[in-house]
Amino acid sequence: MASFASLGLKKEILDVLNRLKYREALEVQEKIIPLTLQGNNVVFTSRTGSGKTLAYTLGCLGKLDKKKGAQLVVLVPTRELCVQVGKEIETICGPLGMKVGTLYGGRDIKGDYKTTDRKNQVIVGTPGRLIEHVNAKRVKVGDALTLVYDESDQMFDLGFYDECAYMRTRVGKNAQIILASATITPKVEAFISEEINHYELLKVGEQIPKQIVQEKIYCKIKDKNDLLFTVFSEKRFRCAMVFCNTKIKTHMVSQFINSKGIKAMPLNSDMRQMDRLNCLNLFKDGKIPVLVATDVAARGLQIGHVDLIVNYDVPTRAEFYVHRIGRSGRLEHKGRAVTFVCPEDEERFDLIEFEYELKISSRGERATKEEVEPSPQDADSVQAI
């Protein structure tokens, strides 16, 4: 790994990094920072938690003028990620005398006035809320030097494609564009083709790190709860995430886990903002060892190292598998990912393995042809949730 001092950053930025004990750049930072310093448009893929926030931020900070307003604009898909990214950028900008504002939905718009009433050099926002302020002329982005689309694959999945394209028209034609994504989906490809000219493309790191031990367990729907408790009992863990495909299932699975004497909480998009943040903080602080989440609620969140990932349901899309298990095995730590594969899921999981060229060890037996269609008893079982 290269030192930050070797990447061409200004001395005052290096001083802040030294005080924070950030001396060696991570792979994504080593590769992206020089490109951002040159002012190039950059498109890159990197796993959540790889250090990409600092990668796209540090190279831009030396260009910012403390006397001017928004010059670095960062778009993110969710409220939680907005708060998280804002705090991370603030750790560097605060000591430099620069202000960071966050704008996101899910709260009364009056709560944004603390941000809009002051001059912020950096704005982090969700697309809908930021555009609302831009159109109302409470936030001016015409002089922005850099526009960042973070977690763009999720942003487009959530329906913000048009809003992101609109924001491109509101910043100057010469503004630097940086697009970060865990995966390059068809929507991301289309956006790059239509909205970004003359860019550098980098794929940073492995999509699925080798230090994550992956396993699939063939099972019936009605057996999932017992299997979940078995997996929890096999090896000690500090924190685990269980992924479900529906919101109601996150509640029901977390109730089951609690009934076994293990503290768990659900995380889904139906929860109030305050409840979601409280849930995340309890998990990060180790007070709740198990988080049961949907893909949308958990995407992009900086949770640190998770010992165990359990796919209670096979993800509905191949890239979701990468996002889920990538929460384990971070920063070279070992991780474990277990997927429950029911007869009706086998073909879908086979495609995931084929797409990412995976050879995953298995337990149990694959279903016979007669077992592929779930029985009414299995489908309607309360135990199955």
One DSSP character per residue, 354-365 reads: HHTT---EEES-
Residue 73 in domain: yes
Q: Are residues 149 and 173 in the same domain?
A: yes
SS3 call for 21: coil
Asked if 119 and 217 sit in the same domain, the reply is no
Are 376 and 235 within one domain? yes
Q: Comparing 114-123, 142-151, 324-333, which segment has the lowest mean pLDDT?
A: 324-333
Last residue of a domain, one of 153, 184, 203: 203
Report the amino acid identity of residue 175.
A
Q: Is residue 385 part of a domain?
A: no
Whole-model pTM: value is 0.77
pLDDT per residue as tens digits for the range 74-103: 999 988 889 999 999 999 999 999 999 999
Same domain assignment for residues 327 and 369: yes
Measured distance CA(205)–CA(120) in Å, rounded:
33
pLDDT band at 159; cut points 50, 70, 90: very high
Q: What string of H, E and C letters represents the secondary structure of 182-241? A: CCCCHHHHHHHHHHCCCEEEEECCCCCCCCEEEEEEECCHHHHHHHHHHHHHHCCCCCEE
**Predicted local confidence at residue 367, as pLDDT:** 74
Q: Does residue 83 lie within any of the structural domains?
A: yes
The reply to whether 257 and 190 lie within a common domain is: no
Mean pLDDT across 303-332: 85
Q: Is residue 366 part of a domain?
A: yes
Instruction: Return the structure tokens found at 127.
Output: 């697309």
At 299, the pLDDT band (50, 70, 90 cuts) reads low
The rounded distance, in Å, linking the Cα atoms of 145 and 158 is: 26
- Report residue 13: phi and psi, to 5°: -70, -40
Are residues 161 and 79 part of one domain? yes
Structure confidence at residue 383 as a pLDDT band (50, 70, 90): very low
Report d(CA 346, CA 348) in Å as an integer: 5
Within-domain flag for 162:
yes
The single residue listed with the structure tokens 């940073």 is 204
How many beta carbons lie within 10 A of that of residue 96, not counting itself?
A: 16
Among 182, 203, 224, residue at a domain's last position:
203
pLDDT at 51 over 90: no
Please report the pLDDT score of residue 269 as a whole number: 83
> Do 169 and 217 reside in the same domain of the chain?
no
Q: Which two tokens stand for residue 198?
A: 């003359």
Q: Are residues 72 and 141 in the same domain?
A: yes
Number of domains in the chain: 2
The boundaries of the domain holding residue 257 are 212-380
CATH number of the domain bearing residue 154? 3.40.50.300
- What average pLDDT does the segment 105-123 reach? 91
| Strand 290-293 with 176-181, pairing | unpaired
User: 228 and 195, same structural domain?
Assistant: no
52 is a domain residue: yes
The predicted-structure confidence for 323-350, as pLDDT tens digits, reads as follows 888 888 766 678 899 999 999 999 999 9
Which domain-ending residue is among 152, 175, 203? Answer: 203
Tell which residue, 98, 145, 9, has the closest CA to residue 29: 9
User: Residue 294 domain-assigned?
Assistant: yes
Q: Same structural domain for residues 122 and 52?
A: yes
State mean pLDDT over 289-316. Answer: 85
DSSP 47-63: -TTSSHHHHHHHHHHTT
Going by pLDDT thresholds of 50, 70 and 90, the confidence category of residue 375 is very low
Same domain, 217 and 110: no
What does the mean pLDDT of the chain come to?
89
> Do 28 and 111 belong to one domain?
yes
